[in-house]
Structure 1
């Protein structure tokens, strides 16, 4: 059986790459675990994720924090904010199918957009919290 964290990441990836609003905001399926060297902007990458035990006396479960990073070279933060909003709408409170696990909930916790240190890239962050149980 795959780890709960990997099953969750795979389900998030599948949801985002099939969501019309997210694809429109990105201009295509530009969602990566590890972005290619010359990735076209804007794009989304998976960032830090944490998984911790959330088991009960009878069920094995996990709490997850998943971070998505949005990268944009458009003038201003509007494009980064649009991608964040599309991803949030696609994922918040959605019932995703996880291999070997059951998603109890998936909630958007916070997001932000700021200019990166290079002065030309806007960097957006969206953090999600999920709880899963083993099937």
Structure 2
């Protein structure tokens, strides 16, 4: 398993184990959403991910930035998407989490949250950027 896969799995497991997040989205945290017609809102999906070298003296590291997308349909109102985004922030930002060997999570933080209406006028969308620094064994 790559460090990117391990990080995404950790984020998903953390969200699904968090009572505040589950109270808002149930178990609807997806790598890819269900097909049209089977989808229930609100939900959270994984978006694009970036990785960069984060080596330091005597440490091999990788910086990962993962996008989480919150989707809610409440006639375009942003409040439910913002509540979900805030619950996700509280679950992840500087949380004391662990990755499986050979990885060590040095940092996890919510770098930004942006909420806006989608063009359909019904869907609220929040984009959450989650940043991590992961140390790897060589």
What TM-score results when the alignment is normalised by the length of structure 1? 0.94
Instruction: Tell me what 1:110 maps to.
Output: 112
Instruction: Tell me what 1:25 maps to.
Output: 24
Number of aligned pairs? 133
Q: Name stretches of at least 5 consecutive residues in structure 1 with no aligned partner.
A: none
Q: Distance in 1 between matches of 2:119 and 2:103?
A: 39
Deviations 1:17-67 (A, max 9, x none): 0100001121x1100001111221000001111011111242211011111
Runs of 4 or more above 4 Å deviation: none
Q: 1:130 aligns with which of 116, 129, 132?
A: 132
Q: Name stretches of at least 5 consecutive residues in structure 2 with no aligned partner.
A: none
Give the Å deviation of 1:108.
1.1
Q: CA-atom RMSD, angstroms?
A: 1.0
What TM-score results when the alignment is normalised by the length of structure 2? 0.92
